[in-house]
Structures are given as C-alpha cells and as structure tokens.
Structure 1
Amino acid sequence: MTNFTQSINFPGSLPLTRNLLAAACFFAMTQASAAGFISDVKQISDQEVRSGEGYYRADGKWLVYQAEVAGENPFYQIYLKNIASGEVQQVSPGIGKTTCSWVHPIQEKVLFSSTHEDPEAKAKMTTEIEQRKSGQRRSYAWDYDEFYDIYETDFAGGNIRNLTHTKGYDAEASWSPDGRLIAFASNRRAYSEPLSEAETVLFSNDPSSMIDIYIMDADGSNVKRLTHTNSYDGGPFFSPDGKRIVWRRFSENGQEAEIFTMNTDGSDQKQITRLNKMSWAPFYHPSNQYIIFATNVHGHRNFELYIVDIDGKKEPVRVTDEEGFDGLPVFTPDGQYITWTSDRTPDHKGRLFHGKWDHKKALESLGLE
C-alpha cells in the first residue's frame, strides 16, 4: 500500500508546498477565472502523475479519489485523504485498473471498481508500461473492461469484498445518502442476455452502447435495471434527499450527451439539459436546488462547468471559463466549497482543484429563491 502526506488541506487557505511555489502566479491567475462563482482556487493534488474524480464523505472529513502514482502500475488506483491531517492512504489492491470511488456516508468503507481479479491484470500493466516507454501516443478513450467489478473495502484497504461478481463493465457506483442502496452503470446484459443481430453489431463496435443504470442493495443483492436504451446511460448519483438519481445519457451515435434525472425506481425519467453537446458528470448541490455538470459547448476539447436547476426549466449558467478540461465537479457536504478535476496545470495533466463556492450567486444566476 502507498502512504504519503500532502501539505495542502482544505477548506481554507493554507500555505502551498515548495513544489507548488513555482506555480503561485499560475494559481493567482486561476483565482480570477471562475466567473465569480468560485474563489480562492487551489490545486490540492500534486504528488501524483495525475489525479481526479474526488468525492467526500457525508461529514466532510474524508476525500476519496483516483490517481496515477509513479511505480509498477501505470493505471489509476484509489486513495483516501484525511482532510484534517492531510494524510493519504491507498485503499485499492494496487493490481489492474480502478475507477469511480465513493465513501460510505456513515461507516468507514470505500466503494470502487477494479479489474484486479482479471487473470491478465499484471500482464496488461506491463504492456501499458512498455507502450508508454515506446513514446507512442494514443487519443484518450474510456476503458469498458469486462473484468471491472464493484468492490467495497475498509479505510485501511482491507476486508475487500466483490459486490457484483458479474462479467461485464460494472462501475460508476455510489451509495445512497443513507448507505442502503448503490446506483451503478453496467453493460452486463450484453454478456448474459440474447442480443439481436443489430445489437450484436452495435456492441461489437461500441461496448458502451449496452451500458444502463442499475440499482442494488448495499450488499449487492436485489439488482434492478433502471434504464432501457441502446445508448450509454452512466454516471449515476443520488439526490441529497435520496429520492432521485441524476445521470447522463449519450445519444445513439455517441457524439452528444444530456443530463437526466429519475426516481430511484426508474420512473419519471426527465431530461434536464438540451444543449446538443457532450454534457456529463452531473452532481447535485447539497441544497437540492441545482445540478452542476461539465459540457463542451465552447469547443470539442474545452469542457467547462455549468449549473442548471433540478427541473431543467432555466437556461444553464456557465461557471468556469478556462481553456482545456474542467469536469467531474462535486460539492463539499456543506455546499460551501467545490472540488473538481482540471488540466489547467503547466503540464496539462488532470489534477484536483478546490475553491470556495458562492451558493447565493448560483441561486441568483438561475433565478431561484
């Protein structure tokens, strides 16, 4: 297991590490770049090759995220940060790929997806390392590895338990606010159910086409499929009151995505955005009044953060205005701060950023009480 300490804590404004002093002017520039919604912007991860997709426990005392750390594994692993001490502990096994972590709202447990039980996991790690050493550059593409399963583990990375045990991509999981349910995305039906000839061709060309939203009890039982499309439904998160789920649905050609919400039983599926672009990574503000998400309405590779009311009746409002990628936004449980993933770094690799959130301005911009 990897254990290291980062000296930037949050919320608040503490001194930067020596590694970040050289980028102080850069940070000062980012503080004025968030259209007034975000202030006191700081990079809060710097010791990894790249990092992102951080989520808080309900008490705000822990942050779980994924990161690549120099070593024998070139893929993301899962790390848990103690906000008070700044100590960071690896909680995933260290073999294979991992993604999409979450912290239990009450218990000391972490949820994430991993391929460490893939018999070829170590071989794939070696192949990836050699590929990178060769200097060959590949366009970024998400991996729908059929060996991804959803696991839970304790804060020390022990007592790991497979909750899905099903062939196919099982990932993008999160606990409900009371910890009783898990929403997740999966293309398991492509491996277990008969497909039409057209579906077989579609899945062969695009494994994400069969990904739907599912819900299950926290122990992995009572699995229920909530969406029924031949396009990618993924990234589900529960609303603060636990009554609804927000997610993003791709178009059938995979070129666009919009934000949707539904009841936790799959009923009342409601489209929230109509931007006809790639809108994804939605997340509720703890007030349950609006949703923040990322979209590329300003350019194919220029993802910015936007907010929209939970009913989609208002025009979405732009939050960030930096070139490059700003995405995967989450709010602290008290709603006063925001953490997101951005490549607004000198090396243009994804890192976690954090800033103070102006909730009042958000409400005013959307015309909400």
Structure 2
Amino acid sequence: MKNFTQLPFMGFPLLSKKLLAAACLLTVTHAGAAEFITEVTQLSDKEIRVGEAYYRADMQWMVYQAEVTGDNPFYQIFLKNLSNGKVQQVSPGIGKTTCSWVHPSQEKVLFSSTHEDPDAKAKMIAEIERRKSGERKPYAWDYDEFYEIYEADFTGGKIKNLTNTLGYDAEASWSPDGKLIAFASNRRAYTETLSEEEAALFKKDPSSMIDIYIMNADGTNVKRLTHTNSYDGGPFFSPDGKRIVWRRFSDNGREAEIFTMNIDGSDQKQITRLNMMSWAPFYHPSNKYIIFSTNVHGHRNFELYIVDVDGEKEPVRVTDMDGFDGLPVFTPDGKYITWTSDRTPEKKGHLFHGKWNHKKALERLAVK
C-alpha cells in the first residue's frame, strides 16, 4: 500500500502488542497534515465501509457505524472496548442505522434505526439486488421517515424507542452530563399542517423540513430550536454543555455553514462564511475552537478545517489530501483526533486516528 508503513498505535496506551499486531494498523505520512496531526493510523480495514466514531468520556469505549456483511447492505452500530479490542454489535441488524453516540458515564448507546419499519427487510433485499445488478447511482442521504432514535445497553439489549414519531429522527447526541439529547428531525412535515409552499418544498426535498430539537434523555419535553425551511442538522453539545454546534444548509441545498447557539435556541451565531459545503462540526474539549469538513478546494475534495468558537478568525486548513476527509472528532482528553477518510486504495470510507497538536491549533488561530 503506497505511502503506508507500520507504526505502533500511540492513541490508546491500554492496547496490547498482541492487539496491535492483529489490527494491522497503518500510518499515513503527509506533509500537509503533519503540522496538526502526526502518528496517523488506520483504525479499520476489514469492514466494507466505516464512519462516524465517537468516544465515551473515560476513553474506554468507541461507538461507530459500519457495513460488515452482505446480509445487510446498510450501516449497523458497533461498540469497541479500547482496552481489549473486543467489538460487539449493538443495533438489531435489521434495516438502516446511523448517528450513534455513547453515554458519557453509563453503559448505554444512542443511535437511529429503521428496524421497526414493516418493510425494512424488503428494502435490504432490494438494495442487495440493486448492487448485484451493477446499477450505479449518485450518493444521496436517505431521510427515511422510519428512522427513530433508540437507546440500548452495551449488549444491544434493553432497547428503547425515545422518539416514537413518524419522520426522520436522527443525528442525536447526549449532553456532557447525559441529561439532554440534541437531534435533527423533519417530524413537523408529518405532524403539522404545512403551508402550500412548504408542502411543495418538502415533496421536492424531505431535508428542507429538518430542524434541530432538544429533549430530556428519556425522550420527554421535546423542544424545537431552529425554525427554517432549510436543513439544520448534525448537532453536538459544547464541552461545557451550554451551547450546540450544527450546520445549516442554504435554501438551494448546495452550501452549508457552521452555526452555534445556546441550548435553549437563543443566540444563534454563524461561525463560517465559506459559501461552500461546510459540515460535521465538533468542539475541541478545550472549548477554544471547532473542527469541521468543507469542500472549499473542490466539489468532491472535503478537507478538515478549524475555526475559533466565535467565528472571528479565518478558518485554518488541517488536512491536504484528495478525496474525502470528514466527520472529525477529538478524544475526550483533546490529545487525539479520529475522522473518516477514503484515502485508501479502494476509496472506501474508513476510520483514521492521529495525535493532535492543540498548541499549534491555538497558535495558527491566534487564540489564547
């Protein structure tokens, strides 16, 4: 594999030498990212495709989504014990899943799934047959109205539907104290009477009615935080739990910018103004800056950037490699970064991990 060499995995000291050898972790050398990210390793390679990894506060567990077998062509949710390398599936295995999160202190996982869709298995079979036929279609996210947000224990048991509302309910995360959940939903298109203009817009684009919501961790006291006819999604809490970062699409759906707001929906502030597709924002644990992905260098070339939390500085480029680099997250101690990239020979999405230079980030952003 060109430009890849063996290197001990520095991100999790609890991993044994035996596990390191079994994982066949790979390192990437690239001058463009070396200023911020070093000791880069590829965390996944046996799965068909992988994306969106998130850590528990104690850094003992990582939850992520992956397609692993031909029986189900859609993502399922997996939990990895970072001390012994054991991986276990926590989603039911039927239908589609997305957007997982691990509780900051309890043995609980949050994810969205369509397994209660009566046609879930039929849709799985149809997708398998479509792929066998060789049919190709452009990538497009599926805003399936059967997506619900579920809570489950680490074995996938005690599963509980927290939303129980027709419409796309997904992109959920717990607050740092585990008491609140922020999520995205277009439920109002199914539960409210839309204007003629809104109904026509929703028929054309189901994402147009997606807004950010917040609720108690048990699914009660749901409150809508954004009120637009464009896609507001991907919410994450700030490290202190006081604000939410998310991305807002333009009316035409071709651009997106990063925004933040208080958890009650007040003080909505635009952070980026790149006029491109900027999305997948995530706070650094220091609460000094936000990392995100943008295609400012080309329609299909997504790179990681950082920006100060107030959006007062020019965003700073982090990665520099053709293809997709996105969905970045920092480890809870802020010393490492994990993200999804297709920088593999097969050009399939996999997880990459590296040591993060927080001091350099502050220096380049001129933030104290």
- Structure 1 residue 69 and structure 2 residue 103: aligned? no
**Structure-2 separation of matches of 1:36 and 1:106:** 33
Say which SS state the counterpart of residue 104 (structure 2) adopts.
Answer: coil
**Structure-2 separation of matches of 1:213 and 1:273:** 18
Partner of 1:198: 197
Partner of 1:168: 167
Alignment of 1:139-178 (within 5 A): 139-178=138-177
Amino acid at match of 1:346: P
Q: Please, what is the CA RMSD of the aligned residues?
A: 1.6
**Structure-2 separation of matches of 1:173 and 1:154:** 16
Q: How many residues align?
A: 358
**Structure-1 separation of matches of 2:301 and 2:215:** 35
**Is 2:147–2:167's contact at 8 Å kept on the other side of the alignment?**
yes
Shift of 1:20: 4.5
**Is 1:35–1:321's contact at 8 Å kept on the other side of the alignment?**
no
Runs (5+) with no aligned partner, structure 1? 1-6
Shift of 1:70: 1.5
- Structure 1 residue 359 and structure 2 residue 358: aligned? yes
Alignment of 1:36-185 (within 5 A): 36-185=35-184
**Structure-2 separation of matches of 1:314 and 1:168:** 38
Runs (5+) with no aligned partner, structure 2? 1-7
Shift of 1:138: 1.1
Amino acid at match of 1:170: D
Shift of 1:18: 6.9
- Structure 1 residue 253 and structure 2 residue 252: aligned? yes
Amino acid at match of 2:236: F
Shift of 1:11: 2.6
Task: Encode CA deviations 1:55-84: one digit per residue, 9 max, x unaligned.
Answer: 000111100000000231110000000111
Q: 1:189 to 1:252 in 2, by over 3 A?
A: same
Say which SS state the counterpart of residue 126 (structure 1) adopts.
Answer: helix
Amino acid at match of 1:158: G
Say which SS state the counterpart of residue 142 (structure 2) adopts.
Answer: coil
**Is 1:8–1:86's contact at 8 Å kept on the other side of the alignment?**
no
Shift of 1:16: 5.6
**Structure-2 separation of matches of 1:316 and 1:136:** 39
Shift of 1:36: 1.0
- Structure 1 residue 238 and structure 2 residue 231: aligned? no
Alignment of 1:306-317 (within 5 A): 306-317=305-316
Say which SS state the counterpart of residue 361 (structure 1) adopts.
Answer: helix
Shift of 1:47: 1.5
Q: 1:225 to 1:86 in 2, by over 3 A?
A: same
Q: 1:169 to 1:287 in 2, by over 3 A?
A: same
**Structure-2 separation of matches of 1:315 and 1:169:** 34
Q: 1:89 to 1:340 in 2, by over 3 A?
A: same
Partner of 2:227: 228
Q: 1:164 to 1:357 in 2, by over 3 A?
A: same
**Is 1:40–1:355's contact at 8 Å kept on the other side of the alignment?**
yes
Normalised TM-score (structure 2): 0.95
Alignment of 1:328-343 (within 5 A): 328-343=327-342
**Structure-2 separation of matches of 1:314 and 1:182:** 30
Partner of 1:287: 286
**Is 2:10–2:39's contact at 8 Å kept on the other side of the alignment?**
no
Q: 1:152 to 1:341 in 2, by over 3 A?
A: same
**Is 1:64–1:79's contact at 8 Å kept on the other side of the alignment?**
yes
**Structure-2 separation of matches of 1:57 and 1:108:** 10
Normalised TM-score (structure 1): 0.94
Q: 1:183 to 1:328 in 2, by over 3 A?
A: same
**Structure-2 separation of matches of 1:8 and 1:129:** 36
**Is 2:214–2:225's contact at 8 Å kept on the other side of the alignment?**
yes
Say which SS state the counterpart of residue 34 (structure 1) adopts.
Answer: helix
**Is 1:8–1:44's contact at 8 Å kept on the other side of the alignment?**
no
Amino acid at match of 1:127: A
